[in-house]
Each structure stands twice: as C-alpha cells, then as structure tokens.
Amino acid sequence: MAAQQEGCIAMPVISINRKYLYGLIGKGMDDRKFSEYISKLGFAVEAVGEEDIAVEITANRLDLLDAVGLARTIKNFMHKSRRFHYEIEDEEPALEITVDKSVAAVRPFISAVAAFGVEMSDDLVLNLINFSEKFCETYGRNRRKIAMGFHDLDRIKGPLIYRSAGDIEFAPLGHRSKMKFSKVLETEEKGKQYGGAIRDEVRQFYPALSDSEGPIAFIPILNSERTRITPSTRNVFVDITGVSEYAVNKVTELLAAIFIDLGARTRRVKINYDGKTVLSPVMAKRYMTIPIKRAELEIGVGIGYNNIISLANKMGYEAGMVGNDIRFCIPEYRLDVIDEQDVIEDIAIGYGYEYINPLPIQYSQPGRLETKTEFNRRASDIMIGLGFSECTNSYLTNAQNNFAKAGIEGANAILLKNSNTESITMLRTWLLPSLLGNLGQSGHESMPQGIFEVDLAFEERMGRPVESNRLAFVSVNPKANFNDSKAAVEGLLYALGIDYTVSGSGHKAFIEGRCAKITVGGADVGFFGELHPEVLKNFGIEEAGIALELVLDSLYPKNQT
C-alpha cells in the first residue's frame, strides 16, 4: 500500500494554464482557494509556475486530467454548478465508421464522437493535446490500451474505414509532403516514442483510419496534417481506439462530457463492426441505490437525508430519496465508479476527512508477537551484550559479493530477471558477505570491531523460494583467533538455552582446521571459525577476523499455532 511512496509509482501530474483553468471555474478563483479545494478532494498542487499550475491527480480520476474536467469538479464542490447529466443532443449520426476485420488481431475496437460549435482557442487546443497525451500514457498504458485523436470534422470526407492498411503514405502532423507509415516510425518523434510492444504489431498491420481521400490517422501513432485541429476549428471529431471495448466506449463518454461542458452540440458516430452496429457514445444512465444507514455506518458519522443529497451534488452526483434509500446517478465521465463502495467514498470526501472524528473500536484481546520475533530479540540482546553492534543490510546483492569474494562456489541463488541496477542481480543466500562488506569499509576505525545481523537470506530449491532466518557475526582485531569465535558462539548458544554440539568442519571462507560446525537435534545449523586471509583480503579487511553464520528457524520454540 506504500505503492505511491518515494515517487516510485508516480501519480499523474498535469500541467494546466492557470488563467485558462481559473477562467473555466469562474470568478473569484485564485491559487490559495484552488489549492484548498484540490487537497480536500484528495489531490495536491505540486507547483505553481508563472503560467501553469501542476496538479497531482490520483490514478482513478481520469476525468480530471484536463482543465474542463477539473473545473467541472471544483465548481460542483463549491456548489457553483448543477450539471449532473450529460446527453447527446442530436440523434442523427454525424459520421459512419466501418471496422474491417483486419484490425481484429491488433486493435479491434474503435469509438468516436462529433462535437459541433466548439469555441476553439489556443488554450483549448493545447489543453486537448495535453489531455490526450497524459490520458493515453496513464490509463491508456502508453497507448497500448487506449489511444485517441482529435480531428477537424470539416476536413473529413466521410465515411470512414478503420482497417489494417499496410505500409501506405500520408502527410503526418507537421508535414506537407507524404511519407510512408514505416518512415513515420523511423523518423517522427511519436513514431519512435511509441515503439516497444506496440511497434511490432503496428509494423505488421499498420492500422489506419481513412476517409475517401486517404488516412486521417496512423493508429495509434500520429494523425494527418490534413485534419489537424487549430484555434479556428469549429467542429471536432474524436476517435478512440483500443483493445478493450468497454474502455473505448467509456473514454468516449468522458470526452463527450468535456465537449458538452464546453457548450458544444454533440452527435453520435455509427460504428459498423462485422456483424453488429454500435452508436457511439452510448451514454447509458447508471444508478446505484444505497441505504443511508450503510453510508453512515461505513464512514462512522451521522449525516442525515438532506445533507447526504447535498454531499452527493457536491461530488457531481444527482441524488434523490427512494423509500429509505438514496438513489445516485453516476456521472457519465466517472470511469472509476465500480459499485456502491466508490460512491460511499465520494460521500466521505464530500463530508471532509478532516471532520470525521476518530472513534475507538471495542476490543479487548491481548496482542502477541511472533515466536520468531521474540527469539530474534533475545538473540540480538545477547549479541549486543557480547559487544557486537547490530547492522541492517540490503537483501539484494550479486554473485561477486555473495560467492566469489567469500571464496565459495555460486549455487541456489534466486536470480533477478530485470534489475535496473548492474550491481544487483540476486538475493543474498547468507549474511556473512554483507557483514564482511560493512567491515571492509571501516578499516580506519579503532579495533576491535564486532558486528552482527539477524535477518533473512534466500535460496532457490527445486524452483521454489526458501527463506531462512539467520544470525551472523563478524569480529576483526589483530589478535582474533578461532578460540575467540568459539567463546562467543558458546556464550550465545548457552544464553539462548540451546542444546548444541560443536565439531570440526570445513568451509572455504575459513582457515582449514580453524572452522567448526554447530549441530542441534541432529541437524547442522551453522558454522563458525577464523576467516581465511584470502577472504579478508577480498573484502579489504586488514586484520584477523572471526565469524559465525547460524540458521535460526529450527531453533525457534514450536509452541505457536
């Protein structure tokens, strides 16, 4: 659940012209107010620049990746707007698209909407292009799942056909002269950018949306220069293609809502699939009926009927009482509302998390640590008592550190398939190399130096992962010898109450004849002794050293269920 921490899975950040955005919201909007509302909704203003404002949106709210959607949501939240329904005004389809079955194997679905009387401007053109980029990169999974294109409807000489066109020619955005699709992939920025997985499919099929004069789009790469939208465009055509019929239809509804909010008159597009015809967008009404008690119970506050309807409106839902329940109408642009739980969250957001008072859970059971945690703590306490300082090392390593430097053959490591870091190729199979690495960088500190670690190591056995809890120590000082290691090991095992035997053994990390193993209940659980000078040297340690590696799992008391 820390998925969004440390910027690893970045939430989408959109950059929008402030003046344009605040203009859409209406009078009186400023940076301070905007930031306040946006954070109440669960988002954040990342940066405020001279021209633009950067807003971080959670990955579910795709309807907020453009200025129009964002303005709509803020206006609702401020109770400044009461538009809850988005409907296609004109039933007569504006255009027809025939889907050839040649796209079935690569990108089978297309959806579209036409908008008339759009008051286009530089700001709006930029907003639509930025939205399209951000949307297709995030929800569209870098255009694999969804791609969209905006066209000047008046330049299209319909009807349209969507098919695998082969490596044909067209004049792509930014060019007057024609070039082949294959050349677009090689030389155009978008062609190069959306390579990868898409590229192979694209190279094989070259999907294209064409009118009677040729391609208006090389899908999902680039539109034609001929149908480019400009500030003087009045009528807009949007195509959405993808691999999920559900997704292309829902995204088209989201786009229709944007144009409806802009005051345009929208018309459907007729899509002729092989064997079925779809009028896009569908814009079917969705309703959910939720008992008010349920909402109150899940949030943990008393809200009341009147209030809950006002909160619903604030969050963009039309709501009304049906018997003892509340019926919510789900806005067409909300792709993320799966069921009642999602609506209840919106009620909670509308209510304000800051006003939800913490309420204690009635509970009276005692808590408990795992047996191994308690054992590990005892072991750590004893090691500290013996004068060793505790370490915490990464589980990730490479064969050089884990095996070669320690003088042993590599075996049974769990290997990583796709590390972004060259020095990280596997999980550690034991702890000693980590500790030797720690001391190798500490030669300038006074002697003796004793460190230990209690943590996990990992091995591959028969194709399955095996984790082991281990304790290891290393101590270096000019007078260290085998007897010191034995003294420390016996001190540890005695204090832990372990019934053990020690016998001579051999391990390549240790000097021959100065290494012993520990046997508990008939099983070998660890080894210790005086480290081999070659190993010390490999890790950059300049004084004599002793060490222990002990597997703890079989030592844990067996009294927990």
Partner 1 sequence: MHEGVSVHRYESSVLDALKKSGKSSLSELVSASGIGRDEVMWALENLKEKGMVSISYEESGRISLSKEGKEYAKDGLPEELLVKNLVKGSLKAADLDGSQRIGLQWGKKLGLIDIDGGMLRLTAEGRRAATAGIAMGDLLRSISKNPDDIRTAMHDGSLLTELSRRGLVEVRKQSVISSVELTGEGRKHVDKEDTDLIEEVDRAVISSGSWKTHGLKKYDVMVDVERQVPAMKHPLKRLIDKLKDAYVGMGYTEISGPAVESSFWVFDSLFVPQDHPARDAQDTFYVSNLKNENFGKLAYVNTVKKAHKKGWHFEWREDIAGQMLLRTHTTSVSSRYLYKIIDALKKNPEDYTLPIKLFSVGRVFRNETVDYRHLADFYQHDGMVIGRNLTLSNLFDELTKLYGSLGVKIKFKPSYFPFVEPGVEFMAYYEGRDEWIELGGAGMIREEITGVSRKKISVLAWGPGLDRTMLIKDRSISNISELYNNGVGWLRSRRVV
- Contacts (CB under 8 A) with partner 1, residues 272-301: 294, 297-301
Which residue lies nearer to partner 1 by CB, 320 or 352? Answer: 352
What binding mask, one character per residue, do residues 204-243 give for partner 1 by CB under 8 A, x or -? ----------------------------------------
Contact 478, 464 (CB under 8 A): no
Stretch that binds partner 1, among 33-41, 107-115, 148-156, 254-262 (CB under 8 A): 33-41
SS3 label, residue 240: strand
Smallest distance from partner 1 to CB 144, Å: 8
What binding mask, one character per residue, do residues 1-30 give for partner 1 by CB under 8 A, x or -? xxxxxx-xx---------------------
CA 64/CA 42 separation, integer angstroms: 12
Binding of partner 1 by 116 (CB under 8 A): no
Contact 428, 549 (CB under 8 A): no
Stretch that binds partner 1, among 111-119, 168-176, 337-345, 537-545 (CB under 8 A): 337-345
Binding of partner 1 by 345 (CB under 8 A): yes
The pair of structure tokens assigned to 385 is 């008592």
Binding test (CB under 8 A) with partner 1, winner from 15, 272, 307, 380: 380
Which residue lies nearer to partner 1 by CB, 212 or 419? Answer: 419
DSSP string for 451-489: EEEEEEEEEEETTEEEEEEEEEEEEE-TT--HHHHHHHH
Which residue lies nearer to partner 1 by CB, 120 or 436? Answer: 436
| Span 459-488, contacts to partner 1 by CB under 8 A | 460, 463-465, 467
Would you give the distance in Å from CA 49 to the centre of its chain? 27
Smallest distance from partner 1 to CB 561, Å: 11
Binding test (CB under 8 A) with partner 1, winner from 33, 83, 141, 265: 141
CA 515/CA 504 separation, integer angstroms: 6
Q: Write down how long the chain is.
A: 561
Smallest distance from partner 1 to CB 371, Å: 9
CA 315/CA 76 separation, integer angstroms: 6
The pair of structure tokens assigned to 398 is 């490479």
Stretch that binds partner 1, among 27-35, 39-47, 102-110, 176-184 (CB under 8 A): 39-47
Would you give the distance in Å from CA 335 to the centre of its chain? 18
Contact 333, 254 (CB under 8 A): yes
The pair of structure tokens assigned to 306 is 């009147």
Smallest distance from partner 1 to CB 9, Å: 5
Closest of 168, 181, 164 to residue 104, by C-alpha: 164
Binding test (CB under 8 A) with partner 1, winner from 421, 499, 503, 559: 421
Closest of 431, 474, 434, 475 to residue 454, by C-alpha: 431
Stretch that binds partner 1, among 77-85, 180-188, 215-223, 244-252 (CB under 8 A): 244-252
Q: How many residues bind partner 1 (CB under 8 A)?
A: 99
Instruction: Calculate the alpha carbon distances from 540 to 52, 78, 153, 400, 440 in Å.
Output: 53, 65, 71, 14, 5
Stretch that binds partner 1, among 159-167, 403-411, 450-458, 541-549 (CB under 8 A): 450-458
- Whose tokens are 């633009």? That residue is 52
Report the b/e string of 415-432 with b at 16+ CB within 10 A.
eeeeeeeeeebbbbbbbb
Q: What are phi and psi of 542, to 5 degrees?
A: -105, 0
Binding test (CB under 8 A) with partner 1, winner from 458, 508, 517, 519: 458
Which residue lies nearer to partner 1 by CB, 91 or 409? Answer: 409
What binding mask, one character per residue, do residues 64-103 give for partner 1 by CB under 8 A, x or -? ----------------------------------------
**Which residues lie across from 455 on neighbouring strands?**
470
Smallest distance from partner 1 to CB 341, Å: 4
